[in-house]
């Protein structure tokens, strides 16, 4: 769980540039920035999992699929409801997004620990 949390922090906050962060939340042209951002998550998760628990290599791809789904849902809400830093939903939406990502890490950690 700690490694997946660290992976998330690194990929979401240190390795995500403004093109990804802003682009993935647009009404159009969101696909490439979103894909690039989620591929960064995959590129960080896969080596970590291969080092710690190589038989669970596929978990990195599950994490990728869930991450792209959560971020697209957030991007859809952001773009279709005009959510920006002044919008009352802004921080709640970021909080829900982050909570879902951490819940994903928690569930995937439990899966790997029990198998």
pLDDT digits (tens, 9 = 90+) for 1-20: 999 999 999 999 999 999 99
Query: Quick one: average pLDDT of 17-27?
Result: 97
* pLDDT the model gives residue 12: 96
- CA nearest 78: which of 44, 7, 3, 27? 27
* pLDDT the model gives residue 71: 98
**Residue 45 near residue 57, CB atoms below 8 Å:** no
- 3-state helix, strand, coil split of the chain in percent (to 5) is 80, 0, 20
pTM: 0.95
For the chain, domain boundaries: 2-114
* pLDDT the model gives residue 67: 98
Q: What is the pLDDT of residues 61-98, one digit of tens each?
A: 999 999 999 999 999 999 999 999 999 999 999 999 99
């Amino acid at each position: 769980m700690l490694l997946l949390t660290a992976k998330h922090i690194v990929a979401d906050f240190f390795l995500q540039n403004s093109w990804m962060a802003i682009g993935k939340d647009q009404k159009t042209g969101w696909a490439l920035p979103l894909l690039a951002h989620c591929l960064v998550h995959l590129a960080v998760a896969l080596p970590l999992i291969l080092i710690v628990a190589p038989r669970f290599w596929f978990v990195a791809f599950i994490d990728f699929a869930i991450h792209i789904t959560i971020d697209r849902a957030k991007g859809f809400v952001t773009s279709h409801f005009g959510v920006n830093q002044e919008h009352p939903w802004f921080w709640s939406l970021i909080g829900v997004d982050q909570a879902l990502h951490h819940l994903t890490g928690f569930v995937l950690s439990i899966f790997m620990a029990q198998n």
